[in-house]
């Protein structure tokens, strides 16, 4: 009888382990700019957001503990116009391991300047996917699904589609039921939450999403054993992004891509053969002017 119970417990543990939460999210709340005496409130805010992101399952996909997506949210509070109401800018970053190495590639990076939300220590941070509860929970859930979606795109072609659909549902609820909170509407900016998701779901950006797969599965994942083959794959991706940037200049997701990848691309090509270095430099200098100084190293012989 004891052995039977032990076997059942083992099966249960394995089943639970196979369905771990998707995210391993580090959360930092910086309150230095906010003048408020009760600093415990900010500690509580950080704890609640950490638990919100890490302690729930966002999808029905099976993740092992070691497969959880590593990500980070740096929430920089800039103003408290009234008690319990906060304005913030937030940096969201996720990483992805490169196969067979200890290297972690920055996969998604965005700075969202349109965070306005209510938070009190007595307020539960709840979430229901098909109803609106608060702007804070909507923004957190939105980025949870974006992180999962982009990660999915990097492991299989168009693998993030379902996660993007769920992010769209959250955005629609926040827009229709959340009042006048900023960041959800197209006319409020060209790089806000609306445009990042819109780009990812735009049929014209299919080449970009497929490029995420190519860059990681046929690029970074084989870089250690076949660097020339990996660079050739990445050059094709850069050429596709170059063509897309001409069609959609200033696209939010392309800007996000280079915010994440500029240093990595520089390191990848600085030891490449001269022809590949020149080809990469020509594209990168054109499509990613803000990081042009980083790419100067590719001109060195």
Q: What does the pLDDT read at residue 1?
A: 44
Q: Are strands 23-30 and 104-118 parallel, antiparallel or unpaired?
A: unpaired
- Please name which of 88, 144, 105, 118 lies closest in space to residue 261, comparing C-alpha atoms: 105
Q: What does the pLDDT read at residue 20?
A: 78
Q: What does the pLDDT read at residue 146?
A: 98
- Indicate the pTM of the whole model: 0.92
| pLDDT of the chain, 301 residues: tens digit per residue | 434 433 343 433 334 444 579 999 999 999 999 988 788 999 999 999 999 999 999 999 888 988 999 999 999 999 999 999 999 999 999 999 999 899 999 999 999 999 999 999 888 899 999 999 999 999 999 999 999 999 999 999 999 999 999 999 999 999 999 888 999 999 998 999 999 999 999 999 999 999 999 999 999 999 999 999 999 999 999 999 999 999 999 999 999 999 999 999 999 999 999 999 999 999 999 999 999 999 999 998 7
Q: What does the pLDDT read at residue 18?
A: 43
Q: What does the pLDDT read at residue 267?
A: 96
Contact 238, 285 (CB under 8 A): no
Domain definitions of the chain by residue range: 18-201
Q: What does the pLDDT read at residue 124?
A: 86
């Amino acid at each position: 009888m004891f052995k039977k119970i032990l076997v059942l417990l083992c099966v249960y543990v394995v089943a639970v382990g196979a369905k771990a939460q998707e995210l391993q999210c580090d959360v930092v709340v910086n309150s230095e700019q906010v003048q408020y005496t009760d600093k415990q409130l900010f500690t509580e805010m950080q704890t609640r957001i950490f638990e919100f992101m890490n302690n729930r399952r966002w999808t029905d996909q099976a993740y092992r503990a070691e497969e959880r997506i590593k990500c980070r949210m740096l929430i920089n509070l800039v103003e408290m116009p009234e008690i319990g109401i906060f304005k913030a800018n937030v940096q969201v970053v996720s990483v992805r391991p490169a196969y067979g190495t200890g290297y972690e590639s920055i996969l998604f990076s965005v700075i969202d300047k349109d965070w306005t939300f209510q938070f009190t220590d007595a307020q539960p941070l709840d979430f229901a996917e098909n109803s609106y509860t608060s702007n804070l929970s909507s923004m957190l859930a939105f980025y949870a699904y974006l992180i999962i979606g982009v990660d999915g795109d990097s492991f299989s072609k168009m693998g993030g589609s379902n996660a993007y659909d769920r992010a769209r549902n959250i955005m629609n609820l926040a827009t229709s039921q959340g009042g006048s909170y900023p960041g959800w509407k197209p006319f409020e900016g060209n790089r806000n939450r609306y445009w990042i998701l819109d780009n990812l779901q735009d049929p014209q950006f299919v080449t970009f999403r497929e490029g995420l797969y190519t860059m990681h599965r046929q690029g970074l994942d084989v870089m250690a054993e076949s660097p020339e083959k990996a660079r050739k794959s990445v050059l094709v991706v850069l050429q596709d992004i170059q063509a897309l940037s001409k069609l959609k200049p200033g696209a939010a997701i392309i800007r996000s891509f280079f915010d994440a990848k500029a240093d990595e691309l520089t390191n990848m090509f600085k030891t490449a053969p001269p022809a590949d270095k020149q080809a990469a430099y020509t594209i990168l200098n054109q499509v990613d002017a803000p990081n042009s100084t980083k790419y100067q190293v590719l001109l060195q012989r």
